[in-house]
Amino acid sequence: MAQKWNELALGYSGAIVSAVGMFLMGIFGYTGFYRGMVNVMLQSHMYFAVSPLGILAGMIEAAIWGFIAGYAIAWIYNKFA
């Protein structure tokens, strides 16, 4: 029998990685580097903006979606494993 994954651990990991990625994209956008990817993030995320408050809002949004995705992946894996 396959080992079960911890849903909360994968959810929290996804949230942290997503929030850090959004922070880096915000910093890159704020400094003017990597502008193409920053434009994609601006179009893809509702609350993200190239400002300190927009970066924080984008990090929160990304953390929520990252947690949901990680939790769902682990839950589905455990269901079929």
Q: What confidence tens digit (pLDDT) does each residue in 28-77 have? A: 888 988 888 889 988 999 999 999 999 999 999 999 999 999 999 999 99
Predicted pLDDT of residue 1: 64
Q: What confidence tens digit (pLDDT) does each residue in 9-31 have? A: 999 999 999 999 999 999 988 89
| Full-model pTM | 0.89
Percent helix, strand, coil in the chain (nearest 5)? 80, 0, 20
- First vs last Cα of the chain: how many Å apart? 7
